Every structure is written in C-alpha cells, then in structure tokens.
C-alpha cells in the first residue's frame, strides 16, 4: 500500500515538473530510474529555494506597503535595501537600514529654523565670509556671500540685511566656482568662469557706530537702551576688481579646462592654486603671474578639487582615482599620490579634528572610505575605515563636532535623479572606530530629512573643535541650506552633542602583560571596596589588642608628642648649663689626676699614696663613689 502511494506521489510530482521543467526522460531500468529520481529531487530543491526567495520578497514588500500606509519607515536588511534602492528611489524614503538605524530622526530638535536670506534671489552658490570680531563688540561674526543665477554677487548679513546688492563680477559666461579669502585679515572673492578666466575682487568692510539723537524729556528706560546699544555698528561693504588672469595654453597648445581654484596665504603673500582638466596644478602670484605648473595625475578629468591642509603649508588635491599633497612653495609633490579604489571619487574632506592625518573619500557608488596618510613618523596610504553603506547616492562631506556631515547628492547623469530623497547624515566617528557588535550600531547619530524640500548645497559657520571640551563646545553653529527650486537660502541653528573620543588602542608593551591602569580597569569596584573594608577591620583589631595588653606605662593614645619635645629641650638646656659650670672643675680634676699618677709611679717610702692625692681630687672621688657625681676623669674611673 505504501509503495503504491509513493508511486502515485512520484507520478504527481512528475506531472508537476513536466509542466514546469518539461517532461523528463522516461526510465526503462533501475539505473535510469535512479537518475530520473535524482533529477526530479534536484529540480524540486531548486523550486523550493526559488519559492522561499519569492516568499521573502513578498514578505518584505508587504512590510514596505504597511509602512507606506502607516506613514512610518520600515527596517530592511542591508543587502535587501541596497538591491531594492538601485531599482526604485522610493525605497530610500520609506525604509531604514536595520543594522545601521539612525539614533535620531528629529529634525526640529537639532535644526532650529531662523530665517530666509535673500528670498528674492535665485541663489546658485553661497558661502560664509568670516569677520574679525573685537572682544566685547556686538558686531556680526560673519556675512553670507551669495551668487545668483545671473552671476551677480550679493552680500547679506545674517539678519537678512542687504549690504551689497547684485554686484556685476564681469565674467562673460557662467561662473562655475566661488571661493573666499582664507583669513580674516583681508577679504576678497575669487570667481572662476567657463572661459578659464579668474577674477579677484577685494571686499572692503567698514564698521561704523550708530549715532542716535537723544531728545529732551526722553524716558529713562529708552536712555538705558541706547546706552546698551552704543556698541552696535553698521557695516558698509564695497567691492572692487583687484586682478584678473586666465589659464594659458601649454607649450603644445593643449586644450585644458580650469576645474578649481584655491587661494592660500603664506605670511604676507597670497597665492592662487589652480587645477586643470589635464591633471596639472599651477601656482599664481597675487598679480596673476604664474610661478610654476606641475602635472600631478593622469586620471581622466584631471584635478577635481583642492583643500587646504596643515595650516596652508600644503594643498590636498584629488582626482577620480587618486589624492595627494602638493607643496606650493616647491611647486611639486613631496610624496606619491594615494590610490586603490574602483569607483570614481566624488568628494573629499579631512577627518574632524584635523590632527590625525586621515582623509575621508566619498565615492560615486555611495561608499565612504577613510585613509590614514601617516604611520608613526613616516608617510603612508593605509585604508583605516569604511563607513556603512546607507545610500546609493554619493555624499558631499563636511566635518562637524566629531561627526561627518554628509549630504546625499545625485549625479547629473543619474536616472530618476529627481525621485531620490536627499537627506543629511551625521556619521559618528567614535562609534565606527569602536567597531560593531550584534546589536544595531550607533554609527548614524542623526538622519535629517526636509521633505518635501530637497537640499542641494550647504555651508557651515562656526565649526568647533572635535574633541570634548573644545572651544565652542556649547556654542550654536549655523548652517545655510539652499533647497532645490527654492529662492534664497534658509538659515538654521545646528545643535548636536560632541561624542566621546574613541577608545585608544593599548600599547604593544602593555598588550603582552598587565599594567596598573589595565588592572584597575579590569578589577571591579566592589573588590576595591572589600579590600578597603578588610584593612579597616584589621586596623581596629590591632588597636583593641594593643589597648588590652596591659603595660604599666601611659597608654599610647595619651602620648603627647609636643610635651615630650618640650621636656627634651629642657633637659638638653640643663645639661648644657651644667657642662658650662663644671668645666673649670673638670680642668682642676685633670691636673690633680696628673699629679697623682706621678706620685703613684714614684712614691716616697714614708709617704702614703692616698696622702699624695690632692684634696680636690679626694673630694670628687668621694662624691663619685657615693653616686652623687660622675666624671670622665680616668683616675676616678680606675676605682681610686
């Protein structure tokens, strides 16, 4: 009966497989039937795996549908989320990475909206211009420099007061880059046009005190207010052309395009570093004269970006597959460029703190790599860390309070680029340095979404020190965000706690043995308390046993150290006084002893030895025997 049932089931499975995989070869003997059965079993296993995958896919899609209907984001495994996000941009908007879920998504808590700057302008580029602020002054610490769609320059205060309105920079075509002066001593604006033209405009800022006329009979409260506001100053901003120059063709009339320009200051001199599309880096003086040019990369597209490094002593350049350090003073590379990744490089930034010598690389596939450029005292190019992959969009990187602020930005040639949600991620460097465990990581401190608005670019003001307790720890930083298809720039106060520094790795010497710090860290606090308690108990037992031992003298607790020292000083003073009074007598005794020794060695027949002893010596000899006085004279100690 069981055999018939098994054959019936096999025939049914055969019919099913015949409909799915086609009719298998018939069996004529035992060997061919075994092969047929093995084929059917393997195809059933494949069908089971395929059905299981379809079931998991349907389950994930059902969770996503429930999240969309309920208005919440759904957690998906990292591999599933990355696979689905490549095909549908909406996945990034309705899902989280289950392994790297953000600690907070509360935008209003960390971004406090202030105002819109220049709401009538269609801004294309913007940056903060830092001002030199005197102590105790209430003047502004920075201004906002704006470049609109018509390539006109405007400067606004952070209170939305126009100080320079739509100044014509003189470029014939479109402006592709805007750079500001690196220091607060002198202010200028550098702009780069499509025609390889570089124009430098000096910005003159004059602060004047406000003068208000005080009328007779004014109230005391208004007078006090005017007294408090006497340090408030108004700013007068003017712009004037300082110099202009272009990137000339090479000796072979090469067609090269100017990609990026960076101003730096070395003492009292100002230089302009320019990177072109053929991989060359040029150095210009302030008046536009070229100091030199060197080719630093062979990658397609040439030099894509320049960043100040090591206090403007060096310039960090990067191309699509390399980065390195360029020396403006020597107009050359000091070390070979660093390479080693496949996806093209999109953006580059220094690690928060700027003292570790590590560089952050944002690749076009959404990965972020951390390279260490030093190993001890020598130069290196070591991959130190990789950020979690949470977006298929590349990032624009900024450093902020121990975090890396990353704005997801689609590439110009990306399909469905307008459908991707653009969010700002705050990566916690300390959490990533400490590693990941089985629990969800805390690598992403904040994931900020401003939908339906789409942020395009941002500028930071007041970046404090990276470590805890640094300058500006409690000060509010500000960020200016330009949104897509929105006029003006929106100003926010940004508040975010500085994370604790990562745990320092143990030295190689202490890793092989125990040191005091590691022992104290390992030993529990309860054990330390127990040892202290046992010591106190033993001390009390010893104290009680000492009191009950019964010595005839005074108790140790009643011993007065100061009284003992006083008695000792009195005894020494009395002894010194006695020595001063007995010194002449000692001399007399010494003379008498000398005379007595002579009489003892050479005595007369009719004379007794004792009779020859002087009376002084006899008197002291009697006192010595009676115990009333002791002398150091030899003749008395001999027992006369």
Going from the C-alpha of 113 to that of each of 108, 269, 408, 461, 462, the distances in angstroms are 8, 40, 21, 15, 17
Within 8 A by CB and 6+ apart from 329, the residues are 266, 313
Token pair, residue 230, equals 């006497």
How confident is the prediction for the chain on average, in pLDDT?
Answer: 78
Report the pLDDT averaged over residues 498-519. Answer: 52
Least confident span in 86-95, 144-153, 232-241, 552-561: 552-561
* More confident call, 97 vs 501: 97
Tens digits of residue pLDDT in 16-30 = 555 545 555 566 777
Three-state SS for 424? strand
Q: Tell me how far apart the alpha carbons of residues 514 and 52 are, in angstroms, rounded to a whole number.
A: 52
The DSSP code sequence of 335-394 is SPPB---SSPEEEEEEPTTS-S-EEEEEETTS-EEEEEEEETTEEEEEEEEE-----SS-
DSSP state at residue 431: H
Predicted local confidence at residue 137, as pLDDT: 63
Three-state SS for 162? strand
Q: Is 154 exposed, middle or buried (0-12, 13-18, 19+ CB in 10 A)?
A: buried
Tens digits of residue pLDDT in 172-202 = 889 999 999 988 888 999 999 988 899 999 9
Contact between 444 and 427 (Cβ < 8 Å): yes
Contact between 101 and 440 (Cβ < 8 Å): yes
Contact between 284 and 274 (Cβ < 8 Å): yes
Report the pLDDT averaged over residues 569-597. Answer: 67
pLDDT tops 80 at residue 341: yes
pLDDT tops 70 at residue 92: yes
The DSSP code sequence of 492-537 is EEE--PPPPPPPPPPPHHHHSS--HHHHHHHS-HHHHHHHHHHHHH
Contact between 460 and 144 (Cβ < 8 Å): no
Tens digits of residue pLDDT in 234-282 = 888 899 999 999 887 665 556 788 999 999 988 788 999 999 999 999 9
H/E run at residue 306: strand 305-309
pLDDT tops 50 at residue 556: no
Token pair, residue 446, equals 């904040």
Contact between 359 and 388 (Cβ < 8 Å): no
* More confident call, 12 vs 58: 58
Report the pLDDT averaged over residues 281-301. Answer: 92
pLDDT tops 70 at residue 488: yes
pLDDT tops 90 at residue 383: yes
Token pair, residue 550, equals 């019964």
pTM of the model: 0.68
pLDDT tops 80 at residue 579: no
Size of the chain in residues: 640
Among all chains, which residue has been given the structure tokens 């470590």?
467
pLDDT tops 90 at residue 529: no
Within 8 A by CB and 6+ apart from 26, the residues are 32, 36
Least confident span in 109-123, 150-164, 176-190, 221-235: 221-235
Q: Tell me how far apart the alpha carbons of residues 272 and 284 are, in angstroms, rounded to a whole number.
A: 5
Predicted local confidence at residue 470, as pLDDT: 41
Q: Tell me how far apart the alpha carbons of residues 150 and 146 are, in angstroms, rounded to a whole number.
A: 11
* More confident call, 72 vs 127: 127
Predicted local confidence at residue 555, as pLDDT: 44
Tens digits of residue pLDDT in 63-73 = 777 777 777 78
Predicted local confidence at residue 62, as pLDDT: 80
Angle at CA 509, nearest 5°, toward 504 and 511? 60
Task: Provide the CB-side half-sphere exposure for 301 (13 A, CA).
Answer: 11
Predicted local confidence at residue 218, as pLDDT: 54
């Amino acid at each position: 009966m069981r055999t018939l049932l098994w054959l019936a089931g096999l025939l049914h499975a055969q019919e099913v497989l015949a409909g799915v995989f086609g009719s298998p070869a018939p069996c004529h003997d035992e060997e061919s039937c075994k092969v047929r059965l093995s084929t059917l079993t393997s195809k059933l296993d494949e069908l089971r795996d395929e059905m299981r995958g379809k079931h998991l896919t349907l389950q994930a899609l059902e969770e996503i549908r429930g999240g969309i209907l309920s208005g919440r984001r759904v957690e998906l495994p990292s591999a599933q989320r990355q696979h689905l996000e490549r095909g549908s941009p909406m996945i990034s908007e309705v899902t989280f990475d289950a392994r790297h879920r953000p600690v907070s998504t509360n935008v209003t808590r960390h971004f406090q909206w202030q105002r819109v700057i220049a709401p009538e302008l269609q801004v294309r580029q913007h940056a903060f211009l830092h001002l030199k602020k005197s102590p105790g002054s209430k003047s502004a610490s920075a201004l906002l420099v704006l470049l609109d769609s018509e390539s006109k320059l405007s400067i606004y205060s952070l209170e939305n007061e126009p100080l320079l309105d739509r100044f014509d920079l003189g470029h014939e075509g479109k402006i592709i880059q805007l750079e500001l002066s690196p220091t607060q001593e002198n202010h200028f604006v550098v702009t780069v046009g499509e025609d390889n033209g570089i124009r430098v405009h000096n910005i003159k800022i004059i602060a004047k005190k406000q003068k208000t006329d005080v009328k007779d009979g004014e109230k005391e409260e208004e007078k006090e207010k005017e007294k408090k506001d006497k340090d408030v100053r108004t700013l007068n901003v003017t712009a004037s052309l300082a110099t202009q120059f272009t990137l000339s063709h090479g000796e072979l009339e090469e067609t090269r395009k100017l990609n990026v320009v960076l101003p730096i200051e070395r003492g009292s001199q100002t230089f302009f570093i320019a990177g072109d599309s053929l991989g060359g880096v040029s150095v210009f003086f302030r008046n536009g004269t070229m100091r030199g040019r060197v080719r630093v990369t062979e990658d397609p597209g040439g030099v894509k970006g320049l960043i100040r490094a090591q206090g403007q002593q060096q310039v960090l350049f990067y191309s699509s597959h390399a980065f390195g350090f360029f020396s403006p003073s020597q107009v050359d590379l000091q070390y070979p460029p660093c390479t080693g990744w496949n996806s093209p490089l999109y953006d580059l930034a220094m690690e928060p703190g700027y003292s570790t010598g590590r560089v952050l690389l944002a690749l076009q596939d959404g990965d972020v790599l951390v390279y260490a450029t030093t190993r001890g005292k020598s130069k290196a190019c070591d991959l130190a860390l990789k950020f979690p992959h949470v977006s298929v969009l590349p990032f624009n990187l900024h450093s902020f309070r121990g975090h890396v602020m990353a704005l997801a930005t689609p590439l110009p040639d990306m399909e469905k680029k307008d459908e991707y949600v653009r969010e700002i991620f705050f990566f916690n460097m300390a959490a990533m340095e400490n590693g990941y465990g089985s629990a969800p990581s805390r690598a992403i401190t904040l994931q900020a979404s401003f939908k339906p608005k789409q942020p395009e670019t941002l500028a930071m003001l007041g970046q404090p020190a990276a470590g805890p307790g640094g300058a500006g720890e409690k000060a509010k930083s500000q960020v200016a965000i330009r949104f897509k298809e929105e006029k003006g720039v929106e100003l926010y106060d940004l508040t975010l706690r500085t994370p604790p520094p990562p745990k320092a790795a143990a030295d190689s010497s202490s890793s092989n043995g125990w040191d005091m710090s590691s022992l104290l860290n390992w030993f529990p606090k309860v054990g330390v308390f127990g040892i202290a308690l046992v010591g106190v108990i033993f001390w009390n037992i010893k104290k009680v046993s000492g009191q009950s031992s019964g010595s005839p003298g005074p108790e140790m607790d009643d011993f007065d150290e100061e009284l003992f020292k006083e008695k000792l000083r009195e005894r020494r003073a009395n002894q010194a006084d006695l020595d001063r009074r007995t010194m002449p007598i000692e001399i007399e005794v010494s003379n008498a002893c000398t005379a007595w020794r002579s009489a003892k060695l050479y005595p007369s027949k009719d004379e007794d030895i004792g009779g020859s002893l002087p009376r002084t010596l006899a008197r002291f000899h009697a006192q010595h025997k009676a115990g009333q006085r002791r002398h150091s004279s030899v003749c008395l100690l001999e027992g006369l």
